[in-house]
Structure 1
Amino acid sequence: MISFQYLCRFQTENGEDFFAKCASVKPTIGSSVEAYPTYEDLLNGQNATTATISKLLSPLPQTRSSIYCVGLNYWSHAKEASLNVPANPPVWTKPPAALASPNEIIPISRFCASHLPDWEGELVFVTSRECRDITSEQASEYILGYTIGNDLSCRFFQLPEQSGGQFFYAKAFDKFAPVGPVLVSPSVFAKERTSATLVTRVNGKVKQDTVIEKDMIYSPERVLSWMSQSTTIPAYTVVMTGTPAGVGVFQKPRQLLKDGDQVEVEISGLGTLKNVVRFEEGQDSIM
């Protein structure tokens, strides 16, 4: 079986989807690559063809599963939110329809645009095979690779008086989980992991900036172990591991997303995830 260092998924000009092993975290639009119709074909080195990258897609072997998310996983974010850190990672999910691709314009409905839309740059990992009841020590054997995500959120619906303080409704809207640009193997990311920084920029201005391992509370391995207790986690599940300080709702004054804003999340060794948000139906006065 063929392993990868950098995995990308892309679409050609005529709308066909392919997988390819990339040379870096920056696949070149317009370049021709050795491509495979499915991830299994890539692993087995079969049914290869030459295809030209027209548009990058989220670099995931499959896109049918729920996306897992973790809250309060950075000391700095817990501090800015004035929240106590719990003994175990808070976990919820986004539905498959929340997934969005790198460089994709994110359509924000009037409903969402009017209820405190915000950014959250995050380290993401993807599981390699089904797991259940695994330990933190075993978890690394179940991680296929790492990439970048943006856990877009409508903060209004996280307020206790609105939705009881739960997170799902505020974060589960269509296209509220951009992921990409490439999936990097654990062995490659290991060279950067201990010193990797996460930087989020909105229209070029830095909003979040942290050294992940110094700020993160629950490691990816701890998160996956906790998720899997008495729960079957499917192969190729996307897990967004939380965000550091610097989200818009806690800026003074608040700095929430506006029509046309470009959000860039950059993580050392993983590249940069870029998306523009578009308020296609306008916006009512923010409450």
Structure 2
Amino acid sequence: MKFVTVKNNHETLVGLVNPDETKVLLLNPAEEERAGKRSFPSSMQECIALGENFIDQVQGLLDWAISSGHAESLFVPLEEVTLLAPIPRPNKNIFCVGKNYAEHAIEMGSEADIPEHIMVFTKAPTTVIGPNETVLNHQNVTGQLDYEGELAVIIGKKGRAIKKEEALDYIFGYTILNDVTARDLQTRHKQFFIGKSLDSTCPMGPWIVHKSLIENPNQLNIETKVNGEVRQSSNTKNFIFPIEEVISVLSAGMTLEPGDIIATGTPAGVGKGFKPPKFLFPCDQIEVKIEKIGTLKNIIQE
């Protein structure tokens, strides 16, 4: 299952994308057609918090739509709705893992920069935008805007002190995230928060792929293009710290909750890593593609 948050006729709705990614079943309007009432929560976070009951409800609705012959009328073409970020406004900061690919750590410094322990920083909820939305160029505050294509994990249930061997059970699904970064601000302030938290610098989407469709998240191809040029190309098998370890370490003394977002790190090939650097400019088009998920596309403001 692939879940989206969309804007349809000025209403924000949660939906289920069909297998060929051309149409979407809007859950509450479809449920209203079936049962005469809207029984699904209005936000993705609330849906995720229902756990497996949400998946069961969606499956029941889908089965009814197909068996009753209503599928054709209930599934809306994707081009007729506006895709938002799957979680348009996270309840808390996005957790981000730094330098989780050895080659990226080296391009940002040297082999000495390969971390022995997980590095974690966060991005503010106000950074989040959806697929095909415009990333502000922020030319008044930065001259070094950079891209970072990443696999993002969406937590599905509350947990603390989660064991590595149980960590994947706490995941709802996966999406794509572009950790757009102001490198000069990152350097100037030493801490990452300001350079990582400019408005619109966390494009996310296009949807959340339920964990049942991805057997091993630690073995997915990932690629980032800028204006059609491949800049990043790797596989999540190259993680220094696999997803299970990231979740275990984060939750050791801190509660993870449904809807929490964890960006798992970016591979080598960021703009700052080139000589000379290849930072982002107005009108640049960025595409981040991850195997079994899809492609996240955004453009830099003119």
Place the TM-score, normalised by the shorter chain, in its bin. Answer: 0.7 to 0.9
- The 1-side partners of 2:177 and 2:89 are apart by 16
Q: Who is 2:225 aligned against?
A: 201
Q: Does 1:149 align with 2:177?
A: yes
State the shift of 1:35 in Å: 2.4
Q: Who is 1:19 aligned against?
A: 14
Q: Who is 2:263 aligned against?
A: 240
Q: Who is 1:173 aligned against?
A: 198
Q: Who is 1:111 aligned against?
A: 140
Q: Who is 1:100 aligned against?
A: 129
Superposed, 1:82-93 pairs within 5 Å as 82=110, 83-93=112-122
Q: 2:222 corresponds to which letter in structure 1? A: L
- The 1-side partners of 2:260 and 2:292 are apart by 21
Q: Who is 2:37 aligned against?
A: none
State the shift of 1:50 in Å: 4.2
Q: Deviations over 1:157-186 (max 9, x none)?
A: 222xx21x2211110111111111111122
Counterpart contact for 2:18–2:25, Cα < 8 Å: no
- The 2-side partners of 1:222 and 1:207 are apart by 27
**Greater CA drift, 181-190 or 39-48:** 39-48
Q: Secondary structure of the equivalent of 1:244?
A: coil
Q: Who is 2:285 aligned against?
A: 262
- The 2-side partners of 1:205 and 1:232 are apart by 40
Q: 1:140 corresponds to which letter in structure 2? A: L
Distance 1:212 1:219, change over 3 A: same
State the shift of 1:212 in Å: 1.8
- The 1-side partners of 2:292 and 2:236 are apart by 12
Q: Where does the alignment leave 5 or more consecutive residues of structure 2 unmatched? A: 29-41, 63-72
State the shift of 1:57 in Å: 1.2
Q: Who is 1:283 aligned against?
A: none
Counterpart contact for 1:35–1:50, Cα < 8 Å: no
Counterpart contact for 1:116–1:155, Cα < 8 Å: yes
From 1, 8, 27, the counterpart of 2:4:
8
Q: Who is 1:63 aligned against?
A: 90
Identity of aligned residues (%): 33
Counterpart contact for 1:8–1:27, Cα < 8 Å: no
From 97, 100, 106, the counterpart of 1:73:
100
Q: Deviations over 1:126-181 (max 9, x none)?
A: 0001221112112111111011100000001222xx21x22111101111111111
Counterpart contact for 2:93–2:123, Cα < 8 Å: yes
Q: Deviations over 1:72-125 (max 9, x none)?
A: 10011012122422222111111110111011111222224x331000000111
The structure richer in helix per residue is 2
Q: Who is 2:25 aligned against?
A: 33
Largest Rg, 1 or 2: 2
- The 2-side partners of 1:101 and 1:61 are apart by 7
Q: Where does the alignment leave 5 or more consecutive residues of structure 1 unmatched? A: 280-287
State the shift of 1:51 in Å: 7.0
- The 1-side partners of 2:152 and 2:124 are apart by 16
Distance 1:177 1:140, change over 3 A: same
Q: Who is 2:155 aligned against?
A: 127
Counterpart contact for 2:89–2:125, Cα < 8 Å: no
